[in-house]
Amino acid sequence: MTIRTVVWNEFIHERENPVVKEIYPDGIHGTIAKFLSAGRDFEVSTATLDEPEHGLPQARLDATDVLVWWGHKAHGQVSDEVADRVVTRVHEGMGLIVLHSGHFAKVFKRLMGTPCSLRWREAGERERLWAVNRSHAIVQGVSPAIELPNAEMYGEPFLVPEPMETVFISWFEGGEEIRSGLTYQRGAGKIFYFRPGHETYPIYHNADIQTVIRNAVRWAYNPVAAWKDVAAAPNVPADKAPEKLEVKGARLHKAGEAGYR
Amino acid sequence: MTIRTVVWNEFIHERENPVVKEIYPDGIHGTIAKFLSAGRDFEVSTATLDEPEHGLPQARLDATDVLVWWGHKAHGQVSDEVADRVVTRVHEGMGLIVLHSGHFAKVFKRLMGTPCSLRWREAGERERLWAVNRSHAIVQGVSPAIELPNAEMYGEPFLVPEPMETVFISWFEGGEEIRSGLTYQRGAGKIFYFRPGHETYPIYHNADIQTVIRNAVRWAYNPVAAWKDVAAAPNVPADKAPEKLEVKGARLHKAGEAGYR
Amino acid sequence: MTIRTVVWNEFIHERENPVVKEIYPDGIHGTIAKFLSAGRDFEVSTATLDEPEHGLPQARLDATDVLVWWGHKAHGQVSDEVADRVVTRVHEGMGLIVLHSGHFAKVFKRLMGTPCSLRWREAGERERLWAVNRSHAIVQGVSPAIELPNAEMYGEPFLVPEPMETVFISWFEGGEEIRSGLTYQRGAGKIFYFRPGHETYPIYHNADIQTVIRNAVRWAYNPVAAWKDVAAAPNVPADKAPEKLEVKGARLHKAGEAGYR
Amino acid sequence: MTIRTVVWNEFIHERENPVVKEIYPDGIHGTIAKFLSAGRDFEVSTATLDEPEHGLPQARLDATDVLVWWGHKAHGQVSDEVADRVVTRVHEGMGLIVLHSGHFAKVFKRLMGTPCSLRWREAGERERLWAVNRSHAIVQGVSPAIELPNAEMYGEPFLVPEPMETVFISWFEGGEEIRSGLTYQRGAGKIFYFRPGHETYPIYHNADIQTVIRNAVRWAYNPVAAWKDVAAAPNVPADKAPEKLEVKGARLHKAGEAGYR
């Protein structure tokens, strides 16, 4: 089996900011795509904000198993249409890995239904990510604690729904902590939020971080065929009811009429 | 303490459909407001779609502890602005009770982040709601199973996130079942989805259903002051870090600059 | 990869009761082992109550990836020692599939921490299991609703913790319903409770039920090496702390002393 | 309403260890009972390990709304009978607050069904507890982060089930973190695990910690009458089924016979 993976990036800081450009000369998406491509089970491509439809036309999303999302400065430039398209594909079964500042991405906020807000500080401080369940598929191949010498701090409260699983919690040198690896199921789709990734530090060059993202893509992959009518609300007429049924009382809808939505 | 409760209704079927009009001459909101008003701890008022800002201007929502929502035919006529305002108030701590066809209301879909779809049939069949936890605050004062002689069927799959608590599951004469009482926490707000309520049957005149809604409003009430900046992502500068911190590495933001969103 | 699967059965009714004997001449474990063996990725064996250590000595459990559990009449005859051994192996990462009347098995009650009680009736009535998430790995290959012409009724309240995922809910002809497919994570182990299986009906000869159990064993399989010290509470001495630490204040334990438990 | 609260303590270190004795001359239970008694809605008493039945005979537990549990050195001395009695009362609706080293108490481990293990260090380091939901009833009246100058470190992985709500996460000076305030529902009972409390530091004299425990007792209080038969599995005979039912097929049980357990 091959996991058709698309790495999406707004791709702005890497072009505008010399520090970020030096760390990610091919863009963050380029770096992530490269290390994912090393896994034989991945078929990886990239997409960016400035492409038509942000590189995510319907046909391409339909052929995507897992989408990796990186955005920071330009969340507002992602069109509502493309954001909704991504959300719908997650409901149908596409996996979604949301990285770092993607906590404020339209796609993530719409899937969570919460503000997704948090506290932050850019001081290059030390971060340590502790695995909560050492036998979870996402943490295999990394040590019990992943240490990042320089990271942007994100602190609780992190306004997301209680997750299906808390996979990582981060400790910060400056005194804060945050839940930094969280899984969710939304419709047929699996979602993993993974905190690390500030663009002024070489986070995605870290071998442990790469391993986690690779594991997460595999975890989020749902081999089942897309649930295309996941949002439909079909009528089950009385004569098609599983049990024999005698219709009683008044009705709002005529036979065969679609429901309201 | 007094729970300031607003009962919202799109209020269309009760004016257009003679059957519904006869059951709810004062509108569904009128009936719900009336039985809630019998509880001394409630201060109840109503709001409808056709009022300016759908009867939900910011100042009124700010003075609302729990909002009860009934909509069916006109979900699309609720403005995005008012829907977002309600969602934000839930995040700040306002309770929300979503009834029946409100599963497709903008406010509910945005808070859930899922399609909220289900199967349905209008055949006046029997429904029986079973309490999953008989000691839950929401099921007090009703029998282990609430029986409705005539109901619209809603069937699984019901595309909502796994709830905080499954409170009721419904059995239908025609052979289906559905999770029909579900609790959620989103930000500071508590949400209860309660399935019964099809407008061609006198569901909200049923004493058990009234008891559940009354219990649910009390359950959803959060006496804590509104969390007004729940969506803010404040910067914690290095010199305000809980621990003494020496700034290292490159930064994206200048001191005092706001974060992206 | 091969999933080393052990099917455990108390194996009493099939020897004592002629009706059950006719349906399961090789025992329920025999039937389950047989259809599992058809999957190339399974290496299946069986164990029964009357074997030494109930067929589950430590070495065998250590070499078991997923355990399928069927018990009904003799829960009390399972020794506490073996029950605890199974529980510990689940914590270490062994998958566990608990079938039908196993809701009252020692191993299940100890893993849930709740009474696991429910209502029941033996009337050969119709059961219909509805899938809550049609894209879940466990429901692949079966229709949206599995229909069993004759089943024992189990009804809510079912006293288990809120699950990680509600996979199936059952409808019964007599008017009750119950959550009938539930997933849990306990330590490194995945657990699936699956309701159908009353021994006086040929439930485990049903192709859909067989498919679900086969899927469930695959779902519960954790390929990660056993977490052998999952219950240990190791001391991290101050000089081994991730951050440099100056010891302050009084201590209860001397250096190197084990913690209490 | 009055919350009948019992504070249980093994009461050993305060008698054997001079440091602990000086901090808690009346025992940890004495200190906790004293500050709880300041709340008008509490009726507080204490119980200790060395009393007959550890001070928890059935009649007393039956008259207890919320039990606060502190144990450390003598978990093994708590009789299985009393531990099971407490567990059953929680299932029936009694609230339970488990403090600090109580993570290894029989009552907690049996309710969780997991090892409840963690990492630890006794170095008097700084701990900071961050509230995850600032509007939660349990965190009212305390600052966003509670700072303890000296604490025993507990670190993840903390082997408990995913909670209903993560209320606090702790940061430690030495580089670890842990989920330190967790809520659970088990049967009709609410459980709150609260980490702070090492006996060589004056943790329970801290005003914020006292506020949290007071809030937690109120949160865990279930005013509903005890669910006495929560563990019963009553038969619903065919002629008492909610729907008219014709008995089919073979049966294991004779009419009126009790189920197996």
Q: Which residue in the set C17, C187, C248 is minimally distant from D115, CB to CB?
A: C187
> What per-residue confidence (pLDDT) applies to B260?
87
Distances (CA, A) of B177 to C173, C177, D165: 12, 7, 28
Annotate B202-229 with b (16+ C-beta within 10 A) or e (fewer). bbbebebbbbbbbbbbbbbbbeeebbee
Provide the 3-class DSSP secondary structure of residue A156.
Answer: coil
Segment D83-123, tens digit of pLDDT: 999 999 999 999 999 999 999 999 999 999 999 999 999 99
Chain C residues touching residue D93 (CB < 8 angstroms): none
Residue in C74, C173, C248 closest to D243 by CB: C173
Tokens of C228: 């052998």
What residues of B are in contact with residue A238 (Cβ under 8 Å)?
A: 121, 123, 174
pLDDT band at D261 (very low <50, low <70, confident <90, very high): confident
Asked whether residue B234 is domain-assigned, the answer is no
Question: Which of A157, A171, A179 shows the shortest C-beta gap to D176?
Answer: A171
Instruction: Return the amino acid letter for C79.
Output: S
Segment B90-111, tens digit of pLDDT: 999 999 999 999 999 999 999 9
pLDDT score of B68 more than 90: yes
pLDDT at B249: 82
**What domain range is C210 assigned to?**
3-113+178-220
pLDDT greater than 90 at residue A121:
yes
Q: Which of C125, C129, C121, C141 is nearest to C182 (CA)?
A: C129
CATH code, D8: 3.40.50.880
Residue B253 has what pLDDT? 83
**Cα(D43)–Cα(D36) distance, integer angstroms:** 8
Residue of A nearest to D136 (CA): A157
User: C261 and D75 in contact by Cβ < 8 A?
Assistant: yes
Nearest-angstrom CA–CA distance, D70 and D105: 8
Contact B179, B130 (CB under 8 A): no
Is the Cβ pair C259, D120 closer than 8 Å? Answer: yes
Q: Do B176 and C179 touch (CB under 8 A)?
A: no
DSSP 8-class letter at D224:
S
Q: Residue B41 — very low, low, confident or very high, per pLDDT cuts 50/70/90?
A: very high
**Section D159-167 average pLDDT:** 98
Among candidate residues C127, C64, C124, the one with its CA nearest the CA of residue C97:
C64
- Compute how many other C-beta atoms are within 10 angstroms of the C-beta atom of residue B256: 7
pLDDT, residue C147, reads 98
- Whole-number pLDDT of residue A254: 81
Cα C101 to Cα C74, C117, C125, C156, distances in angstroms: 11, 10, 17, 14
Q: Can you tell me the distance from the alpha carbon of A120 to that of B259, in angstroms, rounded to the nearest whole number?
A: 8
Q: Which segments of chain B does DSSP mark as H helices, in order?
A: 13-16, 18-23, 27-37, 58-62, 80-92, 106-112, 207-220
pLDDT band for position D253 (50/70/90)?
confident
Identify whether the C-beta of residue D156 lies closer than 8 Å to the C-beta of residue D178: yes
Rounded to 10 deg, the angle between the C207-220 and C27-37 helix axes is 70
Chain B residues whose beta carbon lies within 8 Å of the beta carbon of residue D94: none
Å from B80 to nearest chain A CA? 13
Contact yes or no for D162/C164 (Cβ under 8 A): yes
Asked if residue B169 lies in contact with residue B130, where contact means CB atoms within 8 angstroms, the answer is yes
Report the alpha-carbon distance of residue D71 to residue D67 in Å, rounded: 13
pLDDT digits (tens, 9 = 90+) for C38-56: 988 999 999 999 999 999 9
**C142 found inside a domain:** no
E-strand stretches of chain A = 3-9, 42-48, 66-70, 95-99, 119-131, 145-155, 165-172, 177-186, 189-194
Contacts with A166 from chain D: Cβ below 8 Å:
162, 166, 179
The answer to whether the bond into A223 is cis (omega within 30° of 0) is no
In a domain, D129, yes or no: yes
Question: pLDDT tens-digit profile of B154-179?
Answer: 999 999 999 999 999 999 999 999 99
Residue C261 confidence class, pLDDT cut points 50, 70, 90: confident
**Interchain CB distance below 8 Å, B135 and D227:** yes
Q: Count Cβ atoms within 10 A of the Cβ of residue A21 and give its class: 0-12 exposed, 13-18 middle, 19 or more buried.
A: middle
Q: Do A121 and B75 touch (CB under 8 A)?
A: no
- CA pair distance B110, B234, nearest whole angstrom: 24
Q: Is the pLDDT of residue A1 over 80?
A: no
- Report yes or no on D82 lying in a domain: yes
- With contact defined as 3+ CB pairs under 8 Å, the chains touching D are A, B, C
Total count of residues recorded for chain C:
261
Check C169 against B156: CB less than 8 A apart: yes
Whether residue B24 is contained in a domain is answered as yes
Give how far the C-alpha of residue D256 lies from the chain's centroid of Cα atoms, to the nearest Å: 39
Tell me the CB-side half-sphere exposure of residue B178, using CA atoms within 13 A: 29
The secondary element (H helix, E strand) that includes residue A81 is: helix A80-92
Average pLDDT over all residues of chain C:
96
Tell whether the model's pLDDT for residue A212 goes beyond 90. Answer: yes
Q: Where are the alpha helices (DSSP H) in chain D?
A: 13-16, 18-23, 27-37, 58-62, 80-92, 106-112, 207-220
Give the distance from residue D135's alpha carbon to the nearest chain B alpha carbon, in angstroms: 5
Contacts B145 to D, Cβ<8 Å: 242
Mutate: best of A153, A177, A184, A244, partner D, most D CBs <10 A: A177
Please, which pLDDT band fits residue B261 given cuts at 50, 70 and 90? confident
Whether residue B224 contacts residue D140, with contact meaning beta carbons closer than 8 Å, is answered with yes
How many C-beta atoms lie closer than 10 Å to residue D235's C-beta? 17
The C-alpha atoms of residue C2 and residue D257 are separated, in whole angstroms, by 43
What angle (nearest 5°) sits at the alpha carbon of residue A150, between those of residues A144 and A151? 80
Overall average pLDDT of the B43-72 stretch:
98
Which chain A residues touch C224 with a CB distance below 8 Å? 135, 137, 140
Number of domains observed in the structure of chain C: 1
Pairing of the two strands C177-186 and D119-131: unpaired
List the single best residue of A1, A134, A135, A172 to mutate versus C (max C Cβ within 10 A): A135
Spatial separation of the C-alpha atoms in residues A40 and D140, rounded to whole Å: 52
**Rounded Cα distance, C123 and D243, in Å:** 12
Answering whether pTM is above 0.90, one says: yes
pLDDT of residue B90: 98
What percentage of chain B's residues is helix, strand, coil (to nearest 5)?
Answer: 30, 30, 40
Q: List chain D residues with CB under 8 Å of A171.
A: 171-172, 175-177
Q: Give the mutation candidate from C20, C49, C122 for the D interface (greatest D CB count, under 10 A).
A: C122
Residue A124's pLDDT is what? 95
Which chain A residues contact residue B175 at CB under 8 A?
Answer: 241-243
Kindly state the DSSP code that residue B84 receives in the 8-state scheme. H
User: Would the CB atoms of C227 and A128 count as touching at under 8 Å?
Assistant: no
**A151-163 pLDDT, tens digit each:** 999 999 999 999 9
C-alpha span between A30 and A26 (Å, rounded): 5
Match 């309520």 to its residue by tokens.
B197
- B233, part of any domain: no
Residue C24: pLDDT band with limits 50, 70, 90: very high
Q: Is A59 exposed, middle or buried (0-12, 13-18, 19+ CB in 10 A)?
A: exposed
Cα–Cα distance between D201 and A144 in angstroms, integer? 29
Is residue D260 included in any domain, yes or no? no
State whether C125 and D164 contact (CB < 8 Å).
no
Q: Is D134 within 8 Å of B93 when comparing Cβ atoms? A: no
pLDDT in tens, A161-202: 999 999 999 999 999 999 999 999 999 999 999 999 999 999
C113-144 per-residue burial string, b: 16 or more CB within 10 A, e: under 16: bbbbbbbbbbbbbbbbbbbbbbbbebbbebee
Of all residues in chain C, the one with the smallest CA distance to D109 is C113
CB atoms within 10 A of CB A56: 24
* Residues A41-59, mean pLDDT to the nearest whole number: 98
> Per-residue pLDDT tens for C68-87?
999 999 999 999 999 999 99
Smallest CA-to-CA distance from B92 within B58, B116, B69 is with B58
Edge-to-edge order in the sheet of strand B3-9? B42-48, B3-9, B66-70, B95-99, B189-194, B177-186, B165-172, B119-131, B145-155
In this model, does residue C191 exceed pLDDT 90?
A: yes
Collect all residues with Cβ–Cβ distance below 8 Å to D87 and sequence separation of at least 6. Answer: C113, D107, D110, D111
Residues of chain D with Cβ-Cβ distance to B164 below 8 Å are: 164-165
Q: In chain C, what residues touch A134 (CB-CB under 8 Å)?
A: 188, 227
Min Cα–Cα distance to chain A from C39, Å: 18
Cβ-contact A216, A97 below 8 angstroms = yes
d(CA D200, CA D2) in angstroms, rounded, equals 32
Which of D1, D127, D129, D135 would best serve as a mutation to test chain B binding (most B beta carbons within 10 A)? D135
In a domain, C255, yes or no: no
Could you tell me the sign of the dihedral formed by the alpha carbons of C130, C134, C139, C142, in that order? positive
Chain length of chain D: 261
| Joined tokens for residue B104 | 């497709």
Structure tokens at B22: 């006869």
Q: What is the pLDDT of residues D64-88, one digit of tens each?
A: 999 999 999 999 999 999 999 999 9
Residues D15-47: tens digit of each pLDDT: 999 999 999 999 999 999 999 999 889 999 999
Size of interface A-D (CB pairs under 8 A): 64
pLDDT value, residue C251: 84
Asked if residue B128 lies in contact with residue D241, where contact means CB atoms within 8 angstroms, the answer is no
Q: Please say if the pLDDT value at position B1 is more than 80.
A: no
Q: CA angle D97-C160-B160, nearest 5°?
A: 100
